[in-house]
Structure 1
Amino acid sequence: MIAAAFTPYDDLAEWLLPHATEGDDGSHDVAHILRVFKNAMRIHAVEGGDGPVLAAAVLLHDCVSVEKNSPHRTQASRLAAEKAESILAEREEWSKPRIEAVAHAILTHSFSANIAPESLEAKILQDADRLDAIGAVGAARCFYIAGRLGSALYDPADPEAKDRPLDDKRFAIDHFQTKLFKLADGFQTETGQALARARHVRLQTLLSNFLDEI
């Protein structure tokens, strides 16, 4: 059972995983949630914070699915936060302040929402989620989403966009410059920053190898 992978919050996972994802987006599936959970627990072990609040926020941070090319993409984290509140309110043990703490973390985790996280749990969730957007996994997710949205891998006439504007809606590797390479500078915790630096180097190496091969 996949919930067991979320130990020590496997009971929480068993309850919340059925609500955790929508649709068929393989870049925001249960595997993604588990990777973010592992990232979050690694940061939490050093930085502290409320473990159950953080775990619930991780489990529900993508509970509303909005495609990357949707005009409503910037509202995804707000919609997910609202849905999470309604789910957690079903259990008496979840007080209003703790539900609000989960909702704040979910609301502020998204790059596209552009809302600064204020609590430690929110900062950890944002870091944990962004770690999954860089490094080798981040590159794989980038190419997966490009294929899902019908984009090309690169512009054969100008792969590095030396004489054209970057356009990550048309070319997958443009997304490295428009977003992925910018993420490492915005991590909220010291532990997250250290992990991000290592993954940023992997991402740079991967793109360098890709460009060499084409």
Structure 2
Amino acid sequence: MKADELVAVTAQHVEKLFAGEGSGHDWWHIRRVWQNALKIGTLEKADLTLVQLGALLHDIADWKFHAGDEEAGPRAATEWLQAQQAPEDLIEQVCQIIREVSFKGAGVDTTPSTLEAKVVQDADRLDAIGAIGIGRAFAYGGYKGREMYSPDHVPLLHASFEEYKKNQGPTLNHFYEKLFLLKDRLNTPAGQQLAQERHAYMQQFVQQFLTEWHGEEQPPAAFHL
């Protein structure tokens, strides 16, 4: 199977799997990551076959929905790509992208090892910030039954992936624990440029949220921007 055909059938497969998903990790999220990864990868002169397959399969079995199993995604991607008779070296490289894409806590270095993984990670993180990132954060919080916000539960900057996986804090905390950190953790010049406006929009949203919540009172210091 030619590379462009493999990308096309993979896109069709993933769309069927994730159509209508309600946590913010749906097909449209994956499609946006795919398209942004293609844009960034073209500018960065990355291998676009790897970039596209990595983007399309990056959430095929996300650890968040598989009991924290970090290898669920690589396993599912391997099964799919082997069924399409993809070369083993390509499968290994795509799985490496999947392993390296996730945020794992404020204190954890998740810098990818290849240009292609950097591109996919940037595209995924861009979809976690800005207006769509805000919507996705609250969709996931609702899916997990979390409070929107609680002044009594301050944000935590997790020192390890295990701490991060156990986090059950309110959705607004997620902005401080992850989303506000992403702008300075993007890998490519193209990704960094795209992040600026989205980051500023998120800051404005959170400031307005806290103003409406607290009125004339001040939120706890941990929530100051």
- Partners of 1:53 and 1:13 lie apart in 2 by 13
User: Are 1:181 and 2:180 matched, yes or no?
Assistant: yes
- Partners of 1:129 and 1:88 lie apart in 2 by 21
Residue ranges of structure 2 left out of the alignment (5+ in a row): 157-166, 214-225
Q: Which residue of 1 aligns with 2:59?
A: 62
- Partners of 2:33 and 2:188 lie apart in 1 by 15
User: Are 1:30 and 2:3 matched, yes or no?
Assistant: no
Q: State the number of aligned residues.
A: 197
1:97 deviates by 1.4
Q: Does the C-alpha gap of structure 1 residues 103 and 43 become closer, same or farther in structure 2, counting only changes over 3 Å?
A: same
TM-score for the superposition, normalised by structure 2: 0.77
Which residue, out of 105, 110, 127, partners 2:102?
110
User: Are 1:142 and 2:141 matched, yes or no?
Assistant: no
TM-score for the superposition, normalised by structure 1: 0.80
- Partners of 1:179 and 1:32 lie apart in 2 by 18
Residue ranges of structure 1 left out of the alignment (5+ in a row): 1-5
Q: Which residue of 1 aligns with 2:89?
A: 97
Q: Does the C-alpha gap of structure 1 residues 38 and 22 become closer, same or farther in structure 2, counting only changes over 3 Å?
A: closer
Q: Which residue of 1 aligns with 2:159?
A: none
RMSD of aligned residue pairs (Cα, Å): 2.8
Identity of aligned residues (%): 33
Residue identity matched to 1:56: L
Task: Assess if the C-alpha contact under 8 Å between 1:22 and 1:65 holds in 2.
Answer: no
- Between 1:23-32 and 1:56-65, the stretch displaced more is 23-32
Task: Assess if the C-alpha contact under 8 Å between 2:97 and 2:116 holds in 1.
Answer: yes
Task: Assess if the C-alpha contact under 8 Å between 2:20 and 2:27 holds in 1.
Answer: no
- Partners of 1:64 and 1:14 lie apart in 2 by 16
- Partners of 2:138 and 2:10 lie apart in 1 by 32
- Partners of 2:24 and 2:148 lie apart in 1 by 17
